[in-house]
Chain A
């Protein structure tokens, strides 16, 4: 077991340092890139919090949809193949719900303020 602080606390500490201490000293393009860097760390912090549960539930849904086990990446590759071949389409039971839920949880990590989340 690692000592404290947690991964999330460390990442948030670096982000807060960029935003509160570094950014006021920067200007122009470097200041803009510092903001982008801080946002990237916010994505990491949210993924540390939400990612494991989202991924486990995504995998459970994929196993049910596809009828066999595998890693998350293997299952997603298989799902892509089935959609591409036409074996799966919007009429496939559970597919639309799976894609809507999975996508929603990805955006909650990447960009929780995104307008598309409010329209579901």
Chain B
């Protein structure tokens, strides 16, 4: 039994059964459980930060819950937040949300027969959900969420890249190409921040929810569109630009139909280039993590930088999306 189970039962007013840790690092955990009340049993998820462990990345869990609820109010499919845990609850900062049915593993979604009939619909549905996320009024969230637009992100990744002090001519070319194209003062909206396989809950009926809002911020909405189209998230199905399952015109149609406005394909290219550059620099960051912890997994991810370099070459020199 987890040491926080009784506190969780008190806070929730339900019995906690089948509590299982799903994933998480040192500063954040995800647990699955059933909340058993007098008249109903709810499938639930707990996201928590263990007491005393400072969060190193992302926004506070209570802010994550606030972003999800603001998005749900705009019609975004995301798990309903049942309880935001306060300091007095003794579980650690965190929140409890509904556990929805569906699959997040890209290989199953892209290859299993169960998903064959839904795959052609997913790009359009991604467009719809993104349009709704980007229509959320950012004003009530402005004091909670960081504001990071395109130029600010590019500067931050340039700074990270500079700390590596190792030459990557293709990354330099990507910075040179992006700097005049990423404009400040573009639209500022709620941005999911990590909209890609792994965080998209998909069932044979369609896109069920956007999960994992820990990188939510206020910024340029094109970031979310470019990220789900970045080749590293297509899992080998490069010709299907959106997540390896769909075509960009379908996503843009869903986006426009849901009131997100018309998006130009070349603007998306800019943000796919940014997505590839970002993932390439993250891979090198993994290498620097490996220097500290000697993890073979991090070492191997360091050698995935070159996949983003060939994607950047294909995008910038080859004119491919």
Contact of A119 (CB < 8 Å), options: B172, B304, B314 = B314
State which residues 141-196 of B face A: CB under 8 Å.
Answer: 167-170, 172-173, 175-177
Contact present for A80 and B168 (CB under 8 Å): yes
Q: Mark A34-53, 1 if CB is under 8 A from B, else 0.
A: 00110110010000000000
Contact present for A104 and B317 (CB under 8 Å): no
Residue of A76, A103, A116, A118 with most chain B CB atoms under a 10 A cut-off: A116
- Which residues of A sit under 8 angstroms from B237, Cβ to Cβ? 115
A100 at the interface (CB under 8 A from B): yes
* A–B complex contacts, Cβ < 8 Å, 17 sampled: A32-B297, A33-B297, A36-B297, A36-B300, A39-B300, A40-B300, A73-B167, A86-B176, A96-B317, A99-B173, A100-B317, A103-B309, A106-B309, A107-B306, A115-B237, A116-B231, A119-B238
- Chain A, interface size category, equals 35 or more
A1 at the interface (CB under 8 A from B): no
Q: Mark B232-274, 1 if CB is under 8 A from A, else 0.
A: 0010111000000000000000000000000000000000000
Contact present for B238 and A116 (CB under 8 Å): yes
State which residues 293-312 of B face A: CB under 8 Å.
Answer: 296-297, 299-300, 303-304, 306-307, 309-311
Contact present for B296 and A115 (CB under 8 Å): no
B21 at the interface (CB under 8 A from A): no
A contacts, CB < 8 Å to B? 32-33, 36-37, 39-40, 43, 73, 76-77, 79-80, 83-84, 86, 89-90, 96, 99-100, 102-104, 106-107, 109-111, 113-120
- Which residues of A sit under 8 angstroms from B303, Cβ to Cβ? 40, 43, 110-111
Q: In the complex, A110→B299 CA distance in Å?
A: 12
Known A103-B306, A110-B307: A80·B300 in contact at CB below 8 Å:
no
B282 at the interface (CB under 8 A from A): no
B318 at the interface (CB under 8 A from A): yes
Q: In the complex, A32→B237 CA distance in Å?
A: 23
- Which residues of B sit under 8 angstroms from A39, Cβ to Cβ? 300
Contact present for A120 and B310 (CB under 8 Å): yes
Least Cβ distance of A82 to chain B in Å? 9
- Which residues of A sit under 8 angstroms from B173, Cβ to Cβ? 83, 90, 99
B316 at the interface (CB under 8 A from A): yes
- Which residues of A sit under 8 angstroms from B310, Cβ to Cβ? 103-104, 106-107, 114, 116-117, 120
- Which residues of A sit under 8 angstroms from B177, Cβ to Cβ? 90
B18 at the interface (CB under 8 A from A): no
Contact present for A99 and B169 (CB under 8 Å): yes
B313 at the interface (CB under 8 A from A): yes
Contact present for A119 and B176 (CB under 8 Å): no
Residue of B at shortest CB range from A37? Answer: B296
B320 at the interface (CB under 8 A from A): yes
Known A99-B173, A100-B317: A116·B300 in contact at CB below 8 Å:
no
Contact of B306 (CB < 8 Å), options: A33, A100, A111, A120 = A111
Residue of B at shortest CB range from A109? Answer: B306
Contact present for B236 and A106 (CB under 8 Å): no
Contact of B318 (CB < 8 Å), options: A79, A115, A119 = A119
Contact present for A110 and B306 (CB under 8 Å): yes
Q: In the complex, A118→B320 CA distance in Å?
A: 12
